[in-house]
Amino acid sequence: MRRKARGTLTDAQPGRAAAFTPDSLSISSRYLEVGGEYVASFAITGYPREVRAGWLQPLLTYPGRLDVSLHIEPVDPVTAAARLQRQLAKLESGRRRTSEKGQLHDPAVEVATEDAYDLSARVARGEGKLFKLGLYLTVHAPSRALLAEEVGAVRSLAASLLLDAQPTTYRALQGWVSTLPFALDLIGMRRTLDTSALAAGFPFVSPDLPPPDPASVSAPSGVLYGFNVGSQGLVHHDRFSGLDNHNSVILGRSGAGKSYLVKLELLRNLYRGIEIHVVDPEDEYRRLCEAVGGTYVHLGADNVRLNPLDLPIHTRPDGQRTAPRDALTRRSLFLHTVTAVLLGTELTAPERSVLDRAITATYQRAGITADPRTWARGAPLLADLAHTLAQTDNATARDLAGRLHPFVEGSFSDLFSGPTTTRPEGHLVVWSLRDLAPELKPIGTLLVLDRLWRHISHPTIRRPRIVVVDEGWLLLQNQTGAEFLFRMGKSFRKHWAGLTLATQDVGDVLGSELGKSIVSNSATQILLRQATQAIDEVATTFNLSAGEKQFLLSADQGQALLSTGNQRVAFQSLASPQEHVLVTTSPEFLATLPESERNSDDVYVELALPDDDNCDERHASIDLDAG
């Protein structure tokens, strides 16, 4: 039987409906001709006995066009219990009749009886509910010949999943309508499933990452990273749940979308109430910080200073000030790290000896001794330490003082020339290092991390926190700085915190044992597009397969490989239009913004330049930050 209907929209119909209305519809017994394509529909009548999370995901990975529709209807608990009782009565009656006649038991009946008893017990205990599920498929093809091939491929795929796909013979139109987003089930072929099986069949569950308990009634945790490039399923991941630690490392070449992904994760973790601290070397997080009401600290600006000799004094909610028992000793040891980073080299044993004596003498001159009652006094400055070294008769001490001169009285002294001016707190704190001189960025990063460590390790307030170190190669280039970063990463889990290290210089991370240790101590590892020169080392370190290696060489912007434990998934980062506006650093996009919304604090002045030939004045606009 074949019916054909053609028609046009009437004036009473909305004009937009024309975009969704086919020009013609031809109905046959097993397929439809809708406009210029052919469609065939199926109803799933047989299901596997046991299912796992994401068991319907292979249907979404089908390379052709396949519509999957689930129609779910809850069953009233009283009705569910009555139906289970009747089903159990039928099964038991059949088993007894078989036993009375001396026949062999049917294994299928035995298994069905056990499942019915188990399901009835779980429903009675309130561990689950029953639902009616209608599962329908519609295949699209440009011709009848190709439609036959697609139908065979889809039925084979369904059979591999232990699903029995039956064509909707003489109900092709009803089958097609049932897979359209109209919430209409015109086929009515339902199967009763419990809560766990239905939740495991949710089509957005990724088969590549361990999902949360599908039977849990709690709200889902984690953040959305993007969609699976292989299956189009959504990739959800929670750094604070079920992993060895909360650290993350993100490696990718310049322009691969590394900072874009970091800011997306940052923004979505803020939605969850997680406190975020960012070390921003390029001033990329300012617009995002201002949009969410965060705190922005501009290191390198006038009157913004950090004193490395500050003792870790904490103020409790009751107003009392406290400090660790060994606060002075820890600060003395940290000053060895500060000096090594400032000088750009490891300290020798004689240098450490004279420096340690000078640190003790500097604190004593400020009235700070081993007595904790003196620790609340004003801390000395780096210039005081250099002055103590210079007054010593030891040649090594005077040499250290001379090498510290640029940082206490010379060109780089602004950051250390006074007491600490800022102690910011809030749900998002961004420390901008852009306006620090290149020679000061490593020590700026170190001092910010030290301040964050003191904040996170404070026992008064416990809450999940994330510390983001963007362009981490700035600190990893220095052995002492890399050791400090490694110690922080290892200790963060004890304080409910996670470290995110993002860098484009893979060589600095994987070129040293400390860098590899930082990577191995990160339970979440994300790799974006890699350079050809670095891919072999990356493949060896992360034990990549040939396919994963090729993916990282050819990945588009925003595509990445997420590795957590023994699970890996390739995904494309996904942002809403509102999020994109806040996280992108595209020059083309930033050029369209008003001047007040750009990340720019550059100061321009008019200078009168003398002309050597006629001494006339020429005017030029000079960017002071550019030198």
Burial class (CB in 10 A: 0-12, 13-18, 19+), 446: buried
Mean pLDDT, the chain, rounded, equals 80
Does residue 287 surpass a pLDDT of 80? yes
Does residue 171 surpass a pLDDT of 60? yes
Integer Cα distance of 359 and 329 in angstroms: 10
Task: Give backbone dihedrals phi and psi of 102, rounded to 5 degrees, phi first.
Answer: 70, 25
Task: Give backbone dihedrals phi and psi of 530, rounded to 5 degrees, phi first.
Answer: -115, 155
Integer Cα distance of 14 and 9 in angstroms: 9
Above pLDDT 90, what percent of the chain?
A: 19
Q: What average pLDDT does range 491-514 have in this prediction?
A: 81
Above pLDDT 70, what percent of the chain?
A: 82
Does residue 619 surpass a pLDDT of 80? no
Domains and CATH numbers, the chain: 3-68+138-178 (no CATH), 218-295+427-590 (3.40.50.300), 305-421 (1.10.8.730)
Signed CA dihedral, 527, 533, 536, 538: sign only:
negative
Does residue 605 surpass a pLDDT of 60? no
Integer Cα distance of 542 and 529 in angstroms: 14
**Per DSSP, what are the bridge partners of residue 192?**
132
Signed CA dihedral, 329, 334, 337, 338: sign only:
negative
Does residue 449 surpass a pLDDT of 50? yes
Q: What is the pLDDT of residue 319?
A: 54
Q: What is the pLDDT of residue 10?
A: 42
Does residue 414 surpass a pLDDT of 80? yes
Alpha carbon separation from 386 to 61, 309, 342, 354 (Å, rounded): 66, 12, 13, 12
Q: What is the pLDDT of residue 597?
A: 60
Does residue 438 surpass a pLDDT of 70? yes
Question: Cβ distance 502 to 470 under 8 Å?
Answer: yes
Q: What average pLDDT does range 116-121 have in this prediction?
A: 71
Q: What is the per-residue pLDDT across 138-165, written as a single tens digit (0 to 9) for each? A: 999 999 999 999 999 999 999 988 899 9
Candidate from 14-18, 40-44, 428-432 with smallest mean pLDDT: 14-18
Candidate from 282-291, 381-390, 391-400, 595-604 with smallest mean pLDDT: 595-604
Q: What is the per-residue pLDDT across 195-243, written as a single tens digit (0 to 9) for each? A: 878 887 776 555 456 555 544 444 446 788 888 887 667 788 888 887 8
**pLDDT confidence band for 167 (50 / 70 / 90):** very high
Q: What is the per-residue pLDDT across 303-329, written as a single tens digit (0 to 9) for each? A: 888 888 888 776 555 556 666 777 888
* DSSP run (H or E) holding 322: strand 321-322
Candidate from 124-128, 442-446, 555-559, 587-591 with smallest mean pLDDT: 124-128
Q: What is the pLDDT of residue 566?
A: 72
Does residue 462 surpass a pLDDT of 50? yes
For Cα atoms 270, 280, 518, give the angle at the middle one, nearest 5 degrees: 85
Q: pTM of this prediction?
A: 0.64
Integer Cα distance of 577 and 589 in angstroms: 13
Q: What average pLDDT does range 323-337 have in this prediction?
A: 84
Candidate from 48-62, 313-327, 403-417 with smallest mean pLDDT: 313-327
Q: What is the per-residue pLDDT across 246-259, written as a single tens digit (0 to 9) for each? A: 899 998 888 888 88
Q: What is the pLDDT of residue 472?
A: 76
Q: What is the pLDDT of residue 323?
A: 67
Q: What is the pLDDT of residue 71?
A: 93
**Per DSSP, what are the bridge partners of residue 295?**
429
Integer Cα distance of 261 and 472 in angstroms: 15
Does residue 351 surpass a pLDDT of 80? yes
Highest mean pLDDT among 1-10, 27-36, 371-380: 27-36
